[in-house]
Amino acid sequence: MSAHNNDASQALLEQVNQARAAGTPLQIRGGASKAFLGRQVAGVTLDTRDHRGIVNYDPTELVITARAGTPLGELSAALEAAGQMLACEPPHSDDGATLGGMVAAGLSGPRRPWAGSVRDYVLGTRVISGLGVHLRFGGEVMKNVAGYDLSRLMAGSFGCLGLITEVSLKVLPKPRCEAHIALHLDPQQALLKLAQWGQQPIPISAACHDGTVLRLRLEGGEGSVKAARERLGGEHFQASWWQDLNNRRLAFFADPRPLWRLSLPNNSAALELSGEQLLDWAGAQRWLKSSAPAETIRSAASRLGGHATCYSASDSPFQPLPGALLRYHQQLKQRLDPQGIFNPGRMYAQV
Amino acid sequence: MNILYDERVDGALPAVDKPALLQALQAQLPDLDILHAEEDLKPYECDGLSAYRCTPMLVVLPHTLAQVQGVLKLCFERKVPVVARGAGTGLSGGALPLAKGVLLVMARFNKILAIDPAARTARVQPGVRNLAISQAAAPFGLYYAPDPSSQIACSIGGNVAENAGGVHCLKYGLTVHNLLKLEILTVEGECLTLGADSLDAPGFDLLALFTGSEGMLGIITEVTVKLLPKPQVAKVLLAAFDSVAKAGRAVGDIIAAGIIPGGLEMMDNLAIRAAEDFIHAGYPVAAEAILLCELDGVEADVHDDCNRVRTLLEQAGATEVRQARDEVERVKFWAGRKNAFPAVGRISADYYCMDGTIPRRELPHVLQCIAALAHKYALRVANVFHAGDGNMHPLILFDANQPGELERAEAFGGEILELCVSVGGSITGEHGVGREKINQMCAQFSSDELTLFHAVKAAFDPHGLLNPGKNIPTLHRCAEFGALHVHAGQLPFPDLERF
């Protein structure tokens, strides 16, 4: 087998079973491109990158299946060649990000409010469980309601519930046409406009406001994109700007203060918090550079029905869970990973 | 095969003193409506899977959250099984009652609590009908996308419990893709919020886990759904083919051209003729297969895509391609498809509707196998297919009054589902496992996988009191069911690796 296509599942299974036998925790890693997110895990490193390669891809089925260690760059290139894409736009550049990490972290890009999240595109997974067996959930079909939806549960669980070894994702054709326009609007006007447009069939697929300028991406057929461009006006800008946003390379992110991600109902008013803000996802995701205390930021997000995640070093990066919900997280972890070997404490100290 | 709860293989249920439970419920919840007389319980003995019936011990019809909480706490203390029921339209027996259990009917929670057009959300109680949400959102130009065929009657709580689909799933997703937040009560009567008003929530994605969990992990008490702007236009093309294989290939051609239709449905000859006799939709009755392809969105795009699809259909060998001239004809084209089940009901005393999914490329092979099985069991089958997302609904025609026909239909259905598994598909795309497909779960999953499902269940319901016997079979049941099948030599493709 070539280096690009290698089934290392047996070695991964052995490493998991050794950890189970010895009772030593594992720190799971792929490309480590999202190592900054979440709590530090003390454990033996389990590297998924040898387990890689596309297992199955039939563009007419709109499904791709690949091993967890497959670099997202390789996956995207295969899709690109068939005119398809991961519609949830997981952030990745040449940072070695892998498919397993994409699903474990569950981070989605600018298209998320319109196209759905990483978990929305997960159709099936293979997982090495805390009982030391290699299992398969879901599959390569669009609709599948047999048993509990463990595949989607794995998305965003940061490796705490099992080791993802293979994933089947729904993929979509790339839009026929796109346009990128910038409009000068203040934040209140921008939010108002976005709420109005959201109720109309306008082909917006990304919307970001930096405090003075609202940037929109339009995607669809030639007719709808042209009509929307004519209606909305604005100035053209480069498509690559969205990659810089998605990979947090814009000047905004260079600010030395801690970075916070606030997930809010899309129509929440502008937040009164110290620091700089960048409004993404048409208002549903707000980036904040602020030295304000974590409690201040978190309570501001909670009041609006959302939550805040710290993207800078923190012992408590994720919003604490209410007591009852935390207890069910612990019970689920205890049942699926009885020895607590998978990334213990990565999300919460108690899980 | 009898699929009613069998304590021998499904696990012993606690013995419940009915008069004592009734007395305790009446004493603690004086305003709760409780049905306990035999004649009052009768209407609740089945859901949409009416071939299987079981009279529940008690039926409770709460109308407040406190009552639901009270029922759950009391049942938890006394170790009484609880089966939740919404509108009772489910096709897999997910709400089939237990003789030793309480049936918790959530139908009275039927209020739309809020429609927020700016946030594009609707917050509703679980007993609200699916279609009622879209009707309430219509004045704002919005709608709720998932549209199971029972949408005039089925309730959103049941839709969540079964992760219901419909004819527009390829483009708009299943129930799980259109939810933001659930309020649930645990088996102990504790309130949990899963998901959020924002697009994601901290912690594990329990919203996804609970969607489709068939009332096994908690009781849904409130649902917040996403609303979408109504597409500006929808147009439908009808294409006739002289072979099912050609129609199947045309579906792949449309997808390969980068077009995602709002709906893409296939019917075979028997289904076409039954629907035409019933609805007079103008279907070509001589065709071996028809495709209905609906394109929706902004007018200019839809116009272009219609032309592209027409060309693709013609190139794929369609004998005829018609575009609905106007909204009246579009509705008529769809009426034939949407009434395919009752139409088949007119040409057969009974029918048994299957719900397997397959990778689309396997369609010609699977249809060939189904035809061979129809011959083997001497039963007719009409095929209706959500072609866009690979979800088949073979309808097995039988007459329950003829001795042995029901049993033959069930055995035939079981083989179809195992066939779906063997080609890499699933035993259920949108109807759920419930009680109906409990044995086929043993073909879909290994004992290790089932063990993990039981572990998930135990994290939320360690005593197994919520809807026991549904969705996940015991290993004991699989051991017996598997042994039976090997003995009878019925398992198709035993040499194929299970996928």
**Domain CATH code at residue A220:** 3.30.70.2560
Same-domain check for residues A63 and A121: yes
In three-state form (DSSP H/G/I as H, E/B as E, the rest C), the secondary structure along A109-126 is CCCHHHHCCHHHHEEEEE
- Interface subset of B 435-494, CB within 8 angstroms of A: 437, 441, 444-446, 448-453, 455-460, 471-472
Q: Is residue A35 in some structural domain?
A: yes
Closest CA to B168 of B144, B196, B141: B144
- Its pTM surpasses 0.90: yes
- DSSP assignment of A142-203 equals S---SS--HHHHHTTSTTSS-EEEEEEEE-EEPPSEEEEEEEE--HHHHHHHHHHHHTTT--
ipTM of the complex: 0.97
Closest CA to A319 of A340, A292, A347, A344: A347
Q: Among the three residues A228, A248, A268, which one is the final residue of a domain in this structure?
A: A248
Round to whole Å and give the CA distance between B275 and B226: 33
Round to whole Å and give the CA distance between A83 and A77: 10
Residue from the list A141, A266, A329 with its beta carbon closest to the beta carbon of B357: A141
Q: Among the three residues A125, A146, A173, which one is the final residue of a domain in this structure?
A: A173
- Interface subset of B 375-404, CB within 8 angstroms of A: 386, 388-391
Q: Is residue A242 in some structural domain?
A: yes
- DSSP assignment of B298-340 equals SHHHHHHHHHHHHHHHHHTT-SEEEE-SSHHHHHHHHHHHHTH
The answer to whether residue B493 scores a pLDDT higher than 60 is no
Round to whole Å and give the CA distance between A246 and A244: 6
Q: Which domain holds residue A150?
A: 9-173
Round to whole Å and give the CA distance between B219 and B4: 22
pLDDT for B167 = 87
Q: Which residue has the tokens 């290139």?
A: A77
Q: What is the CATH number of domain B233-337?
A: 3.30.70.2190
Q: Is residue A315 in some structural domain?
A: no
Same-domain check for residues A167 and A213: no
pLDDT for B497 = 35
Helix, strand, or coil here: A9? helix
Round to whole Å and give the CA distance between B331 and B294: 11
Q: How far apart are the first and last CA of chain A?
A: 38
Same-domain check for residues A32 and A101: yes
Q: Is residue A317 in some structural domain?
A: no
Same-domain check for residues A138 and A243: no
Round to whole Å and give the CA distance between B476 and B447: 10
By CB atoms closer than 10 A (0-12, 13-18, 19+), residue A249 is middle
pLDDT for B481 = 77
Q: How far apart are the first and last CA of chain B?
A: 25
Are the Cβ atoms of A224 and B298 closer than 8 angstroms?
A: yes
In the chain, the amino acid numbered B173 is: G
Same-domain check for residues A17 and A156: yes
In the chain, the amino acid numbered B245 is: A
Class of domain B348-488: alpha beta
Same-domain check for residues A149 and A217: no
The alpha helices in B36-112, defined as continuous H runs, are: 38-41, 65-78
pLDDT for B484 = 43
Find, in chain A, the residue whose alpha carbon is nearest to that of B252.
Answer: A60
Find, in chain B, the residue whose alpha carbon is nearest to that of A347.
Answer: B203
Same-domain check for residues A234 and A287: no
Same-domain check for residues A115 and A182: no
Give the closest-approach CA distance of B432 to chain A in angstroms: 6
Same-domain check for residues A198 and A265: no
Q: What angle do CA A117, A119, A120 make, to 5 degrees?
A: 65
In sequence order, what E strands does A5-79 have? Answer: 26-29, 44-47, 54-58, 63-67
Same-domain check for residues A13 and A162: yes
Average pLDDT of every residue of chain B? 94
pLDDT for A2 = 57
Report the CATH number at residue A21: 3.30.465.10
Q: Per-residue confidence at B487, pLDDT binned at 50, 70, 90?
A: very low
Right CATH for B15-105 from 3.20.20.70, 3.30.43.10, 3.90.420.10, 2.40.30.30: 3.30.43.10
Quick: pLDDT tens for B72-129.
Answer: 999 999 999 999 999 999 999 999 999 999 999 999 999 999 999 999 999 999 999 9
- Interface subset of B 204-223, CB within 8 angstroms of A: 204-206, 208-209, 211-213, 216-217
Q: Is residue A297 in some structural domain?
A: yes
- Sort out which chain A residues have CB atoms less than 8 A from B202's CB and list them: 307, 309, 318-321
Find the largest Cα–Cα distance for chain B.
Answer: 72
pLDDT for B482 = 63
Residue from the list A145, A156, A306 with its beta carbon closest to the beta carbon of B162: A145
Number of domains in chain A: 3
Are the Cβ atoms of B203 and A146 closer than 8 angstroms?
A: no
- Residue to test with chain B: of A55, A103, A148, most B Cβ within 10 A: A148
Q: Per-residue confidence at B499, pLDDT binned at 50, 70, 90?
A: very low
Q: Is residue A214 in some structural domain?
A: yes
Round to whole Å and give the CA distance between A207 and A216: 5
Q: Which residues have CB under 8 Å from A74's CB, separation 6+?
A: A4, A52, A54
pLDDT for A4 = 84
Helix, strand, or coil here: B124? strand
Average pLDDT of every residue of chain A? 96
The β-bridge partners of A134 are A128
Do the Cβ atoms of B481 and B473 come closer than 8 Å? yes
Q: What is the CATH number of domain B112-229?
A: 3.30.465.10
Q: Is the dihedral of CA A229, A231, A237, A239 positive or negative?
A: negative
Tokens found for residue B115: 């429609």
Same-domain check for residues A56 and A162: yes
Are the Cβ atoms of A153 and B203 closer than 8 angstroms?
A: no
Q: Is residue A82 in some structural domain?
A: yes
Quick: pLDDT tens for A232-246.
Answer: 999 999 999 999 999
Are the Cβ atoms of B260 and A173 closer than 8 angstroms?
A: yes
User: What is the number of helices (H) and of strands (E) in chain A?
Assistant: 11, 17
Which has the minimum average pLDDT: A335-344, B27-36, B247-256?
B247-256
Quick: pLDDT tens for B276-292.
Answer: 999 999 999 999 999 99
Domain boundaries of chain B, sorted by first residue: 15-105, 112-229, 233-337, 348-488
Report the CATH number at residue A285: 3.30.70
Matching CATH topology for B112-229 and B233-337?
Answer: no
pLDDT by residue for chain A (351 residues), tens only, comes to 456 899 999 999 999 999 999 999 999 999 999 999 999 999 999 999 999 999 999 999 999 999 999 999 999 999 999 999 999 999 998 889 999 999 999 999 999 999 999 999 999 999 999 999 999 999 999 999 999 999 999 999 999 999 999 999 999 999 999 999 999 999 999 999 999 999 998 999 999 999 999 999 999 999 999 999 999 999 999 999 999 999 999 999 999 999 999 999 998 998 899 999 999 999 999 999 999 999 999 999 999 999 999 999 999 999 999 999 999 999 999 999 999 999 999 999 999
Quick: pLDDT tens for B434-448.
Answer: 999 999 999 999 999
pLDDT for A270 = 87
Find the largest Cα–Cα distance for chain A.
Answer: 65
Same-domain check for residues A224 and A282: no
Quick: pLDDT tens for B391-440.
Answer: 999 999 999 999 999 999 999 999 999 999 999 999 999 999 999 999 99
Q: What angle do CA A264, A266, A268 make, to 5 degrees?
A: 70
Q: What angle do CA A190, A194, A196 make, to 5 degrees?
A: 120
Helix, strand, or coil here: B76? helix
Quick: pLDDT tens for B369-382.
Answer: 999 999 999 999 99
Q: Is residue A191 in some structural domain?
A: yes
The answer to whether residue B489 scores a pLDDT higher than 60 is no
Tokens found for residue B378: 């001497």
